[in-house]
């Protein structure tokens, strides 16, 4: 049995080696992203593990079939960049890791909310851009405990975010198509997304990047939100119209944002070895705003999350290769 992992970061390597040694399975890895060209590196392997935000397209799955590789095991949750129809067409089993560490992402969302809310970006700007270092009236923030947080999506991550925000004393409302049952958490569901926009001081997104959620937060949404509101997105970039977000921030229609995911993320974004200079005009525009914190899709990144992503992805592969029932099949 031989497994190859693509787009491997340095921080994943110890966990990959440990899994291979523990399970007595030959595991190799590549720093390249996976596409129909780099797939050639997988010749002679039985299964592939991968983590990337760029597409897994029909051409890739067609080539996998030709090579006799029948499984792609993702090391992440999101399936929005996977052509599952094509995978099924070519007989490729796809799995993901639906629950590697919801608390890691939720904690980062809360971190962004606290940092933007307490004007950390303004302090950073004063020191690093102006070369000054002193108290300023611009630094006045608000207590989270005096605010209403609107959590959009109450799955595993959203549930953890609710737990953390209520722990800080915030009033929490939530909107989700599916509701938590028998929850001990102290929050209230609202009937629609507009209620969140109308009421929330902080809006925290935890929904998938499926087509129906594309640009849920657009020009009209930003005009509807409170002018004092903050938007936090650690979910998927496609949920937010980035051009409209920048315009709303420039016009003062909302007060700030914490953005960990952006539309049209490049392969280079997930390349931990990259030294390329930033050229994306949206990233540059957001980075220059003191009321915005923009980060490179890193909310998940804790030691616990990385270990679980590797182990669960490889366990999924091994189940398929030894003929056992496969967990975490993509749907």
Residue 1 contacts residue 46 (beta carbons within 8 Å): yes
Choice among 236, 253, 263, 301 that is catalytic: 236
C-alpha–C-alpha distance, residues 108 and 302, integer Å: 10
Known catalytic membership, residue 22: no
Q: Which residues of 285-299 are buried (b: 16+ CB within 10 A; e: fewer)?
A: bbeebbbbbbbbbeb
| Given 12, 160, 263, 265, the catalytic residue | 265
Measured between alpha carbons, how far is 241 from 234 in angstroms, rounded to an integer?
14
Q: Is 128 a known active-site residue?
A: no
- For the record, the structure tokens of 151 come out as 């959590």
Q: Active site residue: 9, 118, 224, 297, which one?
A: 297
Inter-residue contact 188 to 165 (CB < 8 Å): no
Burial class from Cβ neighbours inside 10 Å (0-12, 13-18, 19+) for residue 78 reads: middle
Q: Is 163 a catalytic residue?
A: no
Distance CA 117, CA 69 (A): 49
What are the residue numbers of the active site? 236, 265, 297
């Amino acid at each position: 049995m031989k497994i190859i992992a693509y787009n491997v970061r340095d921080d994943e390597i110890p966990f990959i080696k440990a899994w291979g040694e523990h399970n007595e399975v030959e595991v190799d890895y590549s720093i390249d992203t996976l596409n129909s060209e780099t797939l050639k590196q997988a010749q002679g392997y039985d299964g592939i593990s991968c983590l990337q935000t760029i597409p897994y397209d029909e051409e890739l799955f067609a080539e996998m079939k030709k090579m006799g590789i029948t499984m792609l095991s993702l090391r992440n949750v999101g399936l929005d960049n996977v052509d599952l129809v094509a995978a099924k067409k070519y007989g490729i089993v796809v799995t993901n890791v639906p629950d590697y560490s919801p608390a890691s992402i939720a904690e980062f969302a809360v971190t962004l909310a606290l940092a933007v809310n307490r004007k950390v970006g303004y302090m950073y700007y004063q020191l690093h851009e102006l070369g000054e270092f002193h108290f300023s009236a611009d630094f006045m923030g608000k207590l989270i405990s005096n605010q209403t947080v609107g959590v959009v999506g109450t799955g595993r991550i959203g549930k953890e975010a609710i737990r953390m925000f209520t722990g800080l004393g915030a009033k929490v409302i939530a909107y989700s198509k599916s509701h938590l049952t028998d929850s001990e958490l102290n929050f209230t569901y609202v009937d629609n997304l507009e209620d969140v926009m109308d009421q929330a001081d902080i809006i925290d997104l935890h929904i998938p990047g499926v087509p129906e959620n594309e640009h849920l937060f657009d020009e009209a949404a930003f005009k509807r939100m409170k002018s004092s509101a903050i938007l936090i997105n650690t979910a998927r970039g496609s949920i937010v119209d980035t051009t409209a977000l920048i315009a709303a921030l420039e016009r003062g229609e909302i007060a700030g944002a914490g953005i960990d995911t952006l539309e049209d993320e490049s392969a280079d974004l997930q390349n931990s070895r990259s030294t390329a200079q930033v050229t994306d005009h949206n990233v540059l525009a957001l980075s220059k705003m003191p009321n915005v914190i923009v980060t490179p899709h890193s909310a998940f990144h804790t030691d616990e999350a990385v270990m679980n992503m590797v182990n669960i992805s490889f366990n999924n592969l091994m189940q398929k290769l030894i003929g056992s029932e496969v967990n975490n099949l993509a749907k």
